[in-house]
Amino acid sequence: MRPFTFERAASPEQAVSAFAAQPRARYLAGGTNLVDLMKLGVETPEHLIDVSRLPLNEVATTQEGGLRIGANVRNSDLAAHPAVCRTYPALSQALLAGASGQLRNLATTGGNLLQRTRCPYFQDTSAPCNKREPGTGCSAREGANRDMAVLGYSEHCVATHPSDMAVAMAAYDAEVEVLGPEGARTVPAAEFHRLPGDTPEQDTVLRPGELISHVTLGPPPEGARAAYRKARDRASYAFALASAAAVLAVDEGGTVRHAALAFGGLAHRPWRARRAEEALIGARADAQSVGRAVDAELAAARPLSENAFKVPLARSLAVTLFTRLAENPTSPAGT
């Protein structure tokens, strides 16, 4: 048992101030990831700041017609919210594909974004891991790497980000609102998580002491349809081998006027497929055009010894998603 101190914050500002006074502090909300890592000895905070009761648990409509989601909104509540189901179906589907019902009842929007990018070696304190202890090495590169990254990894880390929700948030161009010692700022969801580079221990672009307060979704393009698909080893409670969130709008002639695609399970962060999106604008939304666009994106993939299958798997997910969304372009937003 490693001792730690604990306090409950009464406001976001108080939470940020408390963090500044404790250099080895961590924020605690649902605890579904942090507490597990503390039990394993991977996370060893000296001070916990409970933010679970802060008034950040509402979903409100914005003046622009989007949604502003409080960081403490539970995953299960967000997945079932009528506005999310109606207007952002890929987000609802992604949330329901993650974890288990019990965990979704505890996990929060902010906490989901902040769960650690990890692999089994990260959670095994006897194994070298640059993410856990910088400079010790990456056991997964030459070890069991079937579940690891094929895009954007470095010699220092090949782990993949586990969130389903974050993949959908990236495809919807969500923005993450944070509050820190230097004030408030907004970060695009697609840029919130980092690639490992030389500092794999840094999962996000958050600065020390910053706290997520809200996530904002803008209104989707007119006539857009969206969906999320996840491939995994078992039907529930498993991270994605590969997943994809797609948002598509086509004009009356059947050509693409808006395309957004984000992959999960392939990289250290949700992977926004910008090359594929650019190739799809103005093209027909058929299997051949989508396939060529996705191939251009996945050409950068560098499979490890055990995970080359992820490339055709991700391609199949994306092609199937887009072609199904294009079949009924005038139907409601969901699939």
Instruction: Give the per-residue pLDDT at 328.
Output: 73
Count of domains observed in the chain: 2
Task: Note the pLDDT tens digit of each residue in 157-183.
Answer: 999 999 999 999 999 999 999 999 999
Phi, psi of 105 (to 5 degrees): -70, -20
Please say which residue of 37, 53, 69 terminates a domain.
Answer: 53
Characterize 26-53 residue by residue with b for buried, 16 or more Cβ atoms within 10 angstroms of its Cβ, and e for exposed.
bbbbbbbbbeebbeeebbebebbbbbbe
Residue 92 has pLDDT above 90, yes or no: yes
Q: Are 315 and 243 in contact (CB under 8 A)?
A: no
DSSP conformation letters of 23-62: TTEEEESS-TTHHHHHHHTS---SEEEE-TTSS---EEE-
**Does the residue 304 lie in any domain?**
yes
**Does the residue 100 lie in any domain?**
no
Alpha carbon 259 to chain centroid distance? 19
**pLDDT category, 333, cuts 50, 70, 90?**
low
Proportion of the chain above pLDDT 70, given as a percent: 98
CA 53-175-185 angle, to 5 degrees, is: 75
**Does the residue 60 lie in any domain?**
no
Amino acid, res. 110: G
DSSP conformation letters of 260-273: EEEEESSSSS-EE-
Q: Are 242 and 266 in contact (CB under 8 A)?
A: yes
Please state, in angstroms and as integers, the Cα–Cα distance from residue 9 to each residue in 3, 12, 48, following that order: 20, 7, 10
CA 274-302-204 angle, to 5 degrees, is: 55
Residue 155 has pLDDT above 70, yes or no: yes
**pLDDT category, 332, cuts 50, 70, 90?**
very low
CA distance 255 to 290: 11
CA distance 229 to 245: 7
Which residues, at least 6 apart from 266, have a Cβ–Cβ distance to it below 8 Å?
149, 150, 151, 160, 242, 301, 310, 314
**Does the residue 254 lie in any domain?**
yes
Q: What is the CATH number of the domain that holds 10?
A: 3.30.43.10
Task: Note the pLDDT tens digit of each residue in 28-77.
Answer: 999 999 999 999 999 999 999 999 999 999 999 999 999 999 999 999 99
DSSP conformation letters of 140-176: TTTSS-TTS-SSS-BTTB--B---SHHHHHHHTT-EE
Instruction: Give the per-residue pLDDT at 335.
Output: 47
Give bridge partners of residue 7 from the DSSP assignment: 49
When computed from its CA atoms, the radius of gyration of the chain, rounded to whole angstroms, is: 20
If you average pLDDT over residues 272-284, what whole number do you get?
Answer: 98
Please say which residue of 34, 53, 72 terminates a domain.
Answer: 53
Phi-psi region at 233: left, alpha or beta (left = phi > 0; alpha = psi -120 to 50): alpha
The two beta strands, 5-8 and 242-250, are unpaired
**Does the residue 74 lie in any domain?**
no
Residue 79 has pLDDT above 50, yes or no: yes
Residue 331 has pLDDT above 90, yes or no: no
**Does the residue 26 lie in any domain?**
yes
Phi, psi of 112 (to 5 degrees): -60, -45
Q: What is the CATH number of the domain that holds 255?
A: 3.30.390.50
What mean pLDDT, rounded, does the chain reach? 96
**Does the residue 200 lie in any domain?**
no
Residue 27 has pLDDT above 70, yes or no: yes
CA distance 139 to 129: 6
Locate all alpha helices (DSSP H) within the chain, ordered by sequence. 12-20, 34-40, 75-80, 82-87, 89-97, 101-106, 109-114, 120-123, 165-171, 189-192, 274-280, 287-298, 310-327
Instruction: Give the per-residue pLDDT at 133.
Output: 97
User: What is the span of the domain harbouring residue 32?
Assistant: 5-53
**Does the residue 136 lie in any domain?**
no
Instruction: Give the per-residue pLDDT at 1.
Output: 72
Residue 82 has pLDDT above 80, yes or no: yes
Residue 286 has pLDDT above 60, yes or no: yes
Please tell me whether residue 315 adopts helix, strand or coil conformation.
Answer: helix
Please tell me whether residue 293 adopts helix, strand or coil conformation.
Answer: helix
CA distance 305 to 134: 24
Task: Note the pLDDT tens digit of each residue in 295-330.
Answer: 999 999 999 999 999 999 999 999 999 999 999 755
Give bridge partners of residue 184 from the DSSP assignment: 179
